[in-house]
Amino acid sequence: MIILAIETSCDETSIALVKGSGGLKKPKFKVIKNLVLSQIKIHAPFGGVVPTLAKREHLKNLPLLYQQIFPKNQILDNLDIIAVTVGPGLEPALWMGIQFAKSLKQKIKNKKVKLIGVNHLEAHLYSFLLSLKNSAFKPSKIFPAVVLLVSGGHTILLEMKSLTEWKKLGETRDDAVGESFDKVARLLGLPYPGGPEIEKLAVLGDPNAIKFPRPMISQKNYDFSFSGLKTSVLYYLRDLKNISKKIKANKFFKPTTNLEKSLVANVAASFQKAAIDVLIAKTMRAAREFKVKSIILCGGVASNKALKSNLKKEAKKAGLNFFSPPMEYNTDNAAMVGVAAYFTYLRNKKYKLEAKGNLNI
Ligand code: KG4
Ligand code: ZN
């Protein structure tokens, strides 16, 4: 099955061609093309994604990417599915992808090509399959699994029983963990998106220098809360009057003295450690309670090497397998949308071709 997938839920415009085979029993995927145009530079001056700008950029970028995939504007004769993310995400941005997908469908002579809507969270959920080499899908090694889905908009723990059955165990009650990385980065005067910036800085700092709280770490549920952690960082910086004045004055704070450099690195490292500690503690507790065989980590924040390597280490210690997509498929991309489309189609699951900003999993 050849799938042309489109992703425009936030600030990445992406089109991919994915080949899926093997059905639900032995699914196998080949990413033929996965093109991503990031809008980071456009949104960075605003410190976050501006929906109207995202919409404008998707409109401009979609035909450019399409032309890169099909230089002569031809469409594949053997295309089976056009898939597009319908939510969750920014609705003006989602609509751009949906309209583009609809217009492609109209242009195609082969009326057998199906147009299907995809849930962005399911796309992140299935993205780990892109890490499995040829025919390496062994359900007995994977399921049941605990999935930690961490992105800019979501922080969700799931129990996944098979490729088609899962149950949400908990989620964040306020900020998503990626969002808290972005907000703390802003407090430190670092550019958007903050996750990778905090990670870079954290390597230079001492994760045990500042005792930030680990919200909800010992509560016997699987929910999270990250806004209090961000506020603790805010109070910590506010109490250091010289630094907070400089951050406000320069927007992008560049520490000048060695003392400032180490202080900012310590804040980044200590914040990152606090956030990761909570994520890992709750994931491992769920793994024990539900007696799973593996842990799956996915979403943009899965790019964080400290999170990934520590969770992997904990999984190994507990005798569990660990799966996470290759780096390029952590943050938003259309290849994972193509993978999810394969399952959406096989399960005959139907999403309306309308933008649904708060679509759930
Ligand atoms: O999955 P994604 O691309 O978009 C959403 O669906 O939200 O995730 C983007 C989020 C942003 O908040 C970004 O700061 C965060 O993922 N992120 C990271 C890292 N790389 C991206 N957070 C921590 N460490 C990273 N290396
Ligand atoms: Zn995403």
Split the chain (361 residues) into runs of 10 and give each run's mean pLDDT.
Answer: 97 97 94 95 87 95 94 80 98 98 91 95 98 83 97 97 97 97 92 94 97 95 97 91 74 80 95 98 98 98 98 98 97 98 97 97 95
Contact 361, 106 (CB under 8 A): no
Nearest to 277 by CA among 328, 339, 226: 226
Q: Cα–Cα distances in Å, from 343 out to 87, 299, 352?
A: 16, 18, 16
* Closest CA to ligand 1's atom 7: 152
| pLDDT given for residue 134 in this prediction | 66
pTM score over 0.85 = yes
If one residue of 197, 303, 324, 358 were mutated to test the ligand 1 pocket, choosing by the most ligand atoms within 8 A of its CB, it would be 303
Q: Which atom of ligand 1 is nearest to the CA of 192?
A: 14
| pLDDT given for residue 27 in this prediction | 94
Contact 78, 87 (CB under 8 A): no
Residues with CB under 5 A from ligand 2 (ion): 151, 332
| pLDDT given for residue 135 in this prediction | 61
Burial 237-259 (b: 16+ CB within 10 A, else e): beeeeebbebbeeeeebebeeee
Q: How far is the CA of 145 from the centre of ligand 2 (A)?
A: 20
Ligand 1 pocket check for 303: Cβ under 6 Å? yes
